[in-house]
Structure 1
Amino acid sequence: MSVRVRTAIGAVFGATLLAALPGCGGGTSTGGGGDGHPKTLTYWASNQGASLEDDKAKLTPELQAFEKQTGIKVKLEVVPWTDLLNRILGAASSGQGPDVLNIGNTWSASLQTTGALLPFDDKNFAKVGGRDRFQDSALASTGAPGKAPTAVPLYSLAYGLYYNKKLFADAGITKPPATWDELVQDGKRLTGGGHYGLAVEGGNVSENIHHAFVFAKQHGADFFDAAGKPTFTSQGAVDGVKQYVDFIARDKIAAPGNAEYAQNESVADFANGKAAMLLWQAAGANLQKHGMKPDQYGVAPVPVQSGTPGPGNNIDTMVAGINIAVFKNSGNLDGALKFVQFMTGDAEQKKLNGEYGSIPPVKTASQDPAFNTPELTVLRNAIATSAAPLPQVPKESQFEELVGGAVKDLLADAAAGRPVTTQSVQARLAKAQQQMQ
C-alpha cells in the first residue's frame, strides 16, 4: 500500500459489504455517449506524495497528456488514506463511484467480495497490455487466489531498514544490523544524547499490521489458516507482536511518544536526527523533502531472527504497493481501461514511480537504470526474494483494523509504563479474533 498506506477501517465494513449493490446505478463518467464523443473519467488517486497538493502537481500533467492522446478528460480527486477505504465502500454500497481508483494492494481480496470492481480476466488484462507485463510478486496482491484480480499493480513498495550514517559512526557501529538481536543492541548504543535508536509509527494501524505480519511470519506463524479462519492467538503470532511492542516496552530503543505517531512523524524524527533507524516503505523521497540528503543515510534489508532475509521464515517485508482498479459501473469502461493502460505503460511507470520513489511493478519499466539506486536495489531485491503478500482473504480489511488496533493499544500500554506480557498480548489478540468471528 502508499508511498504511505493509511487505513481507517470502520466497523461499517461488514454492513457496507452486505449492502453492496454493484448492479445498481452507474459510474460518474459525464458527457459524450452515443454520439461518439469521449466521456470524462473520474479518478480517485491515493495520497502518494508529501501532500494532496503535491500529488495534484505530479498527476495533473500526466492526465493532460492522456487527454491529448485520447481526447478523454480525467477529473482528478486525491483522497487521503484516512478516507479512501470508507469512500470506496460507500461507492460500492450506492453503486455510484469513480471510473478509476487507486486501492491499497492489501485490500484487494476484501474489495473483490463487494462485486463493485471490474474483474481483470484475460480479456480485460489484454486491453491493458497483458498479465505477463507485471511482476509475479505484485500480482500476488491483486485478489484472492483462483479468482480474476480486481485491480492491476501500479506502484510497488517494500520495507527497508534506514540508518543514519553519522549517528552510527559516532556510536562506533560499522554496519547495519542483520538480526533483531543486533538491532536491539545497536539501538541501545544509539539511544541517548537527544535521540533514540529507532523510530516507530505506533499510532498508525497500517504500520502496525505490516510489522505484526512480518514478525509473525518470522516466528513461523500466519494470522489465518488454510481455510481462511483467523489464528491470531497462535504462539508465533503472539511472540511476533510482543517482539515489536518490546521496542518501547522492554528494549526502550524507541521513544514512548512514538506510540501516538500516525502521520509520518517517525520519518520526520529520523530525518531530523531524533532517531538513528527507521523501518519504512521507500522512504527516500520523503526523507529528502525533510532535508535529509541521500548520502546521509543508508538502506539495508529489514532484520530477521537469524541469518539473512530470504524465503520461508526469513520473510522481511510484506508485498507493499498500490493497485489501480476500475469501478464496474463506469459509464465508460473502454475509456477507463485505456486510462489503466496509460498509467501502467512503460513511460508513465518510469515517470510516476520515479516521482514517488517507488518501484515499477511492470517488468520492463523496472529495468530502467533510474531504479538502480542503492535504496531501490535493496527494496527491489526484497520484493523479489523475501516478500510475502498479506493474507488475501475476504476479511483482510477487518484483520488490518482489529489486529493493527490491538498493537496500537499495546504500544500505548508500553508508553504509559503498563506491563506488556505474553499474556496481555495474547488477550488483546484473542479479543481481536473474537471480533472477527
Structure 2
Amino acid sequence: MRRYRAVASGAVAVALLATATACGGGSSNEGGSNESPKTLTYWASNQGPNIEADKKVLAPELKKFEQQTGIKVKLEVVPWSDLLNRIMTATTSGQGPDVLNIGNTWSASLQATGALLPWNEENFSRIGGRDRFLEAALGSAGAQGQDPAAVPLYSMSYALYYNKKMLADAGVAKPPATWDELVAAGKKLTGNGKAGLGAEGSNLSNNIHQVFVLGKQHGADFFTADGKPDFTSDGAVAAVKQYVDLMAKDKVIATGNAEYAQNQSLGDFAKGRTAMVLWQAAASTFKSQGMSDDEWGVAPVPVQSGTPGQGKAVNSMVSGINMGVFKNTDNLDGAMEFVKFMTSDAEQKILCAAYGSIPPVKAAQNDPAFDRPELKVLRDTLATSAAPLPQVPNEAQFETLVGTAVKNLFAAAANGKPVTTESVKAELTEAQQQMPQQ
C-alpha cells in the first residue's frame, strides 16, 4: 500500500492513502496556479469511458466560456488512480490548479487541509446562491456545521443494472429487489463461463461504497457520532461478510473479480459475461463498449427486505463529483466565474446529459434528457434512499484501509480460503488500528 505525505492544518493531521474511484479520469501545472488573470488551470476528473472522451465533452464548453469571458481554461483530465495523490501534493506544495474536481467522499478530508476555498454564503451568492443545489448533494460537500469545501457538479447514485436477455433466458421474471432474491437469481445466472453479479475487488472506493450501504442496512455507520472509527461493530462485520460472501459462499461473483480494478466489471457486463452489476450512472460506459440501450435494464439496489428508503433501507451512498477552488489561486474572480459557468442551468444540462449523471442544480433537472428510465431510478434513489458517506476528516483513510480489508477478503475467497465472521473482524480490526489518532 502506498502512503501519501501527511498534511497538517492547525491541530488536524490528514494522512491520506491511495484510493481508486470516488462516487463513478496528465502532467501537473507545477509552475503555479495560472499565468495571467485571463488564464485558469482546471483539473477535471475522468468521468467518461476514457480521458479522450472527457476532452471531447469539455473542450467545446471551455471554448464557450472563453468566448463569454475572455478567460482561457487550461484543461487536464486526471485519472482517478492519480487524482487524490495529485491534489494532496498540490495542497502541500501550493502549486496546483485554480479549479479542480474532487470525489465528493473526499470533501471533509480535503476541507481539513485548509487548502480549499470555503463556500460561505458570500461565495455561494457569486454563483447564484446555495438554494440552487440539491440538499442531498450539499450533504457530501464537507463536514457538518462547516461551510462546504466545494460545490456539487455531477450527482449520481447506485443502481442494479441487469442484462434483460440473460435474466429472461434464466427464467428470472424481474430484477431482484432483496439480497435473497439477488442470490437466488445470481445462482440461476452463474455457470458456463458466466457470472450472476460483477464486482471489482481491487477497486478500494467501490468496495467502500458497497459495504457502506450494506452497513446502513445492518445499522452500522463505521464512525461514531463524534467521528471516531467504529469498523468492528457487529453491523459493520455483517455488512462486509455479506458482500464478500457473494463470492465466497453464494458463488454468484466470479473469483477473477477479486483482482478487478475500475470499470472492469462494466466490461464484462457489456460483453454478456456478467448478468448484473451494481454501479452508478453507467449508460455512457455501456454504449462506449458496444452495448445498446435496449439490452439492459435498471432497478434500485436491493435491500434486506421491503422497499428502499431511509434508515436500514438505504440502498446507495450519495455519489458524485464536487468542484473546488484552491484558496491560493491568483485569479479568484476568474475561478468563481468558471464555477458559476459550470454550475449554470444550461451547462448542467449539457454536461450531465453527456455523462449520464444527475444535475445537482435543481432547475437543470427540468429537461427531457433526465426523464429516461435509468436516470429516473438514480434520481429517485438520490432523493429518497441514499445517504452520504461519513463527512469526517479521516474519510479518505477509511476508504483506503477498509477498502483494502475488503480487497484482502475477496483475495482470500478467490483462493478458496474460508471467509468467517472472525476473519472479517480481524481484517477490520487491523484497518481500525491503522487509522490516524484524532
TM-score by structure 1 length? 0.94
Matched with 1:91 is: 90
1:416 aligns with 2:415: yes
One-letter code of the match for 1:59? L
3-state DSSP of counterpart to 1:66: helix
Matched with 1:142 is: 141
Given that 2:156 and 2:358 are in contact with CA atoms closer than 8 Å, whether structure 1 keeps it comes out as yes
- Render the CA deviation track for 1:61-80: whole Å, top value 9, x for unaligned: 11000000000000001111
Matched with 1:12 is: 4
1:40 aligns with 2:39: yes
Distance 2:399 2:209 in 1: 9
1:158 aligns with 2:163: no
Q: Map of 1:94-109 to 2, 5 A cutoff?
A: 94-109=93-108
Q: Map of 1:307-326 to 2, 5 A cutoff?
A: 307-326=306-325
1:269 aligns with 2:268: yes
Which stretches in structure 2 are left out of the alignment for 5+ residues? 15-29
Distance 2:66 2:282 in 1: 32
- Render the CA deviation track for 1:43-69: whole Å, top value 9, x for unaligned: 000011111111111111110000000
139 and 19 in structure 1: CA distance in 2 versus 1, 3 angstrom threshold: closer
Matched with 1:30 is: 35
Distance 1:127 1:181 in 2: 49
Given that 1:27 and 1:327 are in contact with CA atoms closer than 8 Å, whether structure 2 keeps it comes out as no
Given that 1:413 and 1:420 are in contact with CA atoms closer than 8 Å, whether structure 2 keeps it comes out as yes
- Report the CA distance between 1:26 and its aligned residue: 9.6
Q: Map of 1:288-367 to 2, 5 A cutoff?
A: 288-367=287-366
Given that 2:132 and 2:363 are in contact with CA atoms closer than 8 Å, whether structure 1 keeps it comes out as yes
Distance 2:148 2:5 in 1: 20
Given that 2:7 and 2:92 are in contact with CA atoms closer than 8 Å, whether structure 1 keeps it comes out as no
Distance 1:19 1:236 in 2: 29
Q: Map of 1:28-427 to 2, 5 A cutoff?
A: 28-31=33-36, 38-427=37-426
Given that 2:318 and 2:382 are in contact with CA atoms closer than 8 Å, whether structure 1 keeps it comes out as yes
3-state DSSP of counterpart to 1:227: coil
Given that 2:358 and 2:365 are in contact with CA atoms closer than 8 Å, whether structure 1 keeps it comes out as yes
Distance 1:302 1:377 in 2: 14
Distance 2:220 2:6 in 1: 26
TM-score by structure 2 length? 0.94
One-letter code of the match for 1:218? Q
- Report the CA distance between 1:128 and its aligned residue: 0.8
Distance 1:40 1:118 in 2: 19
- Render the CA deviation track for 1:196-223: whole Å, top value 9, x for unaligned: 1001111100110000100110001110
Given that 1:162 and 1:300 are in contact with CA atoms closer than 8 Å, whether structure 2 keeps it comes out as yes
Given that 2:7 and 2:113 are in contact with CA atoms closer than 8 Å, whether structure 1 keeps it comes out as no
One-letter code of the match for 1:213? F
Identity %: 66
Distance 2:144 2:353 in 1: 30
- Report the CA distance between 1:303 and its aligned residue: 0.1
3-state DSSP of counterpart to 2:225: coil
Distance 1:89 1:194 in 2: 42
- Report the CA distance between 1:367 and its aligned residue: 1.9
Given that 1:19 and 1:93 are in contact with CA atoms closer than 8 Å, whether structure 2 keeps it comes out as no
- Report the CA distance between 1:265 and its aligned residue: 1.0
16 and 414 in structure 1: CA distance in 2 versus 1, 3 angstrom threshold: farther
394 and 10 in structure 1: CA distance in 2 versus 1, 3 angstrom threshold: farther
- Report the CA distance between 1:192 and its aligned residue: 1.2
Distance 1:75 1:57 in 2: 14
One-letter code of the match for 1:274? R
Distance 2:257 2:276 in 1: 13
One-letter code of the match for 2:93? S
Given that 1:10 and 1:86 are in contact with CA atoms closer than 8 Å, whether structure 2 keeps it comes out as no
Given that 1:318 and 1:387 are in contact with CA atoms closer than 8 Å, whether structure 2 keeps it comes out as yes
- Report the CA distance between 1:194 and its aligned residue: 2.5
- Report the CA distance between 1:232 and its aligned residue: 0.2
Given that 1:43 and 1:74 are in contact with CA atoms closer than 8 Å, whether structure 2 keeps it comes out as yes
Distance 1:15 1:117 in 2: 13
- Report the CA distance between 1:293 and its aligned residue: 1.1
One-letter code of the match for 2:139? A
286 and 256 in structure 1: CA distance in 2 versus 1, 3 angstrom threshold: same
One-letter code of the match for 2:119? F
- Render the CA deviation track for 1:260-318: whole Å, top value 9, x for unaligned: 00031100101111011000001111111111111111100000000010011000000
3-state DSSP of counterpart to 1:116: coil
Distance 1:343 1:108 in 2: 19
- Report the CA distance between 1:382 and its aligned residue: 0.2
Aligned length: 419
Distance 2:174 2:162 in 1: 10
Distance 1:244 1:340 in 2: 38
One-letter code of the match for 1:29? N
Given that 2:109 and 2:395 are in contact with CA atoms closer than 8 Å, whether structure 1 keeps it comes out as yes
Distance 2:121 2:134 in 1: 16
Given that 1:46 and 1:84 are in contact with CA atoms closer than 8 Å, whether structure 2 keeps it comes out as yes
Distance 2:31 2:199 in 1: 42
Distance 1:144 1:238 in 2: 26
Given that 1:13 and 1:398 are in contact with CA atoms closer than 8 Å, whether structure 2 keeps it comes out as no
